Chains A and B, each alone.
Chain A
Amino acid sequence: MNGTVDILGNLNMIGYGLAAIGPGVGIGLIFAAYISGVARQPEARGMLQAIAILGFALAEALAIIGIGLAFVL
């Protein structure tokens, strides 16, 4: 009550939050491209879907490695 605030927790999680911005933007771009692709050519949906999910998985790997390291380090 003397004007200071005690915050407990791990600084790693703040770092993870910052690190997750990159994959977040990347995943957004991937699905934006997927949506506009399907809008232009609806019959290519099946093919585009597999590619989009593959790109999503690869971009997401960065975020996932980040959360793994945030807990491990």
Chain B
Amino acid sequence: MSVVLAAGGNGFVAPGPADFEFPPVFGFVTKPMLIVVLGAIVIAAFFYAAARNPRLVPGKAQFIGEEIYGFVRNGIARDTIGAKEGMKYVPYLVTLFVFISVLNLTGIIPPILFPANSRIAFPLVLALISWAIFNYIGIRRQGFVGYFKNMMFPPGIPWPVYILLSPIEFLSTVIIRPVTLTLRLTLNMFAGHLVLMLCMFGGAFLLGQGGLLAVASIIPFLFAIVLTFFEGFVQLLQAYVFTLLSALYIAGAESEEH
């Protein structure tokens, strides 16, 4: 029976990269763009509501806002960059964390169901901002020559190793860092969304076949539910990883030796 299904004209078509392309809603504006604008509005409104009327005993919104801010400030900025130097970068890191989290979580929030960060443009811009910031800080702190000297020629190594080490260090800092930041976030969201789509489309297809196959559709739907929770966890984890790596790169540029 399965052979007939696969050979039939209306067989199951697995979701692929084409499912991440959307027709424009109006003009050149597509669904991911609208999600980003909506996300930015929601974040701004939430933090405005949280910080508008601060009380000694916080309300719900203020408590959540402070928890997020405190998590990034203590868990990321203070632990990686330092208690004194790290505080300057807390606003950027909090913005990064919240923005990426919300754009990832749109993948499992029912009416939207598309992680905006699975389109490479958005993580790319965020990674380029982080890249520009840590290079700017490094050049300002250590001087243009000093920054590249500290990066490419770490002291305490026999000189022949530099022939191999210096190009690798240069490539890894200047080119590979932003590329991996972008790809990690994009492809995590891409792969996660693909697996969720596969479960849901597969379940819907089996349900449409009727009979015993319709009963079997319970399995993919069950997987879809479990994977939705797992995906939520991965989405928050990736937002944390992106922020943590940005903070580590800033910390490396901030200190003289690394």
Contacts and interface: CB of A to CB of B under 8 A. Distances in A.
Contacts of A47: 79
Contacts of B171: none
Interface stretch (B45-53, B209-217, B239-247): B239-247
A10 to B, nearest CB: 9
A38 interface: no
B31 interface: no
Interface string B181-194: 00110111011000
Interface string B161-205: 000000000000000000010011011101100000000000000
B17 interface: yes
Interface in B203-237: 237
Majority SS at the chain B contact face: helix
B191 A57 contact: no
B150 interface: no
Contact of A50 (B180, B237, B244): B244
A21 interface: no
Interface residues of A, number: 15
Contacts of B80: 50
A64 interface: yes
With a 10 A CB-CB cut-off, give which of A1, A46, A64, A65 has the most chain B CB atoms: A64
B65 to A, nearest CB: 22
Given A60-B184, A67-B187, A68-B183, A53 B79 contact: no
Given A50-B79, A53-B237, A71-B17, A61 B184 contact: yes
B233 to A, nearest CB: 13
Interface string A21-53: 000000000000000000000000011001001
Nearest to A72: B17
A54 B191 contact: no
A61 B17 contact: no
Contact of A67 (B3, B79, B191, B237): B191
With a 10 A CB-CB cut-off, give which of B3, B17, B241 has the most chain A CB atoms: B241
A43 B208 CA distance: 54
Contact of A54 (B3, B180, B186, B244): B244
Contacts of A50: 75, 79-80, 244
A37 B232 CA distance: 27
Contact of B183 (A1, A46, A53, A64): A64
A63 to B, nearest CB: 9
Interface of A: 1, 46-47, 50, 53-54, 56-57, 60-61, 64-65, 67-68, 71
25 contacts: A46-B75, A46-B79, A47-B79, A50-B75, A50-B244, A53-B237, A53-B240, A54-B241, A54-B245, A54-B248, A56-B241, A57-B241, A57-B245, A60-B184, A64-B180, A64-B183, A65-B183, A65-B187, A67-B187, A67-B190, A67-B191, A68-B183, A68-B186, A68-B187, A71-B17
